[in-house]
Structure 1
Amino acid sequence: MQDHYTIGKVSKMCNIPKETLRYYDKIGLFCPDYRDNETGYRYYSKESLKTLLILRRLRNLGFSIEALKNSLDVNSLDNLENLIE
Structure 2
Amino acid sequence: MVTTEMKGLLKIGEVAAVSHLPIKTIRYYEEIGLLTPAVRRSESNYRLFEPNVLGRLAFIKRSQSLGLSLREIQEILAVHDQGQLPCDDVKQNLQQKVQQITEQIESLQLLRSELQGLLSGWQDQPPAELAARTICPNLETKTGTERLPFVRKRAAVGV
- The two structures have a TM-score, normalised by structure 1, of 0.79
Which protein has the bigger helix share?
2
- Counterparts of residues 36-51 of structure 1 (less than 5 Å): 36-38=42-44, 40-51=45-56
Within the candidate set 46, 54, 57, 1:52 is matched to 57
Say whether 1:8 aligns with 2:1: no
Say whether 1:66 aligns with 2:76: no
Percentage of identical aligned residues: 28
Closer, same or farther in 2 for the Cα pair 1:52/1:29, shift >3 Å? Answer: same
**Max Rg structure:** 2
> Per-residue deviation at 1:60?
1.5
Computed over aligned residues only, the root mean square deviation of the Cα atoms, in angstroms, reads 2.1
Which protein has the bigger strand share?
1
Aligned length: 82
> Per-residue deviation at 1:84?
4.1
- The two structures have a TM-score, normalised by structure 2, of 0.46
- Counterparts of residues 29-40 of structure 1 (less than 5 Å): 29-31=34-36, 32-38=38-44, 40=45
Runs of 5+ consecutive residues of structure 1 not aligned to the other structure:
none
Question: 1:9-62 deviations in whole A, cap 9, x for unaligned?
Answer: 000100011111111111111234311132x21111112321111111111221
- Confirm or deny: 8 A CA contact 2:9 2:48 kept in the other structure: yes
SS for the counterpart of 2:48 is strand
- Confirm or deny: 8 A CA contact 2:76 2:90 kept in the other structure: no
Runs of 5+ consecutive residues of structure 2 not aligned to the other structure:
1-5, 92-159
